[in-house]
Amino acid sequence: MVIFTHKISDPNGLHAIIAARLARFCRECTCCVHVACGSAAVDGRQMMGLMKLRAKKGEVLEFRVEGNGEEEAAKELKVLAEELL
3-state secondary structure at position 3? strand
Q: Which pLDDT tens digit goes with each residue over 51-75?
A: 999 999 999 999 999 999 999 999 9
- Domains in the chain: how many in total? 1
| Closest-CA residue to 50 (of 1, 12, 15) | 15
Phi, psi (rounded to 5 degrees) for 81: -60, -40
Q: pTM score, two decimals?
A: 0.94
The enclosing domain of 35 has a CATH number of 3.30.1340.10
- Domain of 47 in residue numbering reads as 2-84
Q: Which pLDDT tens digit goes with each residue over 29-54?
A: 999 999 999 999 999 999 999 999 99
pLDDT at position 79 = 97
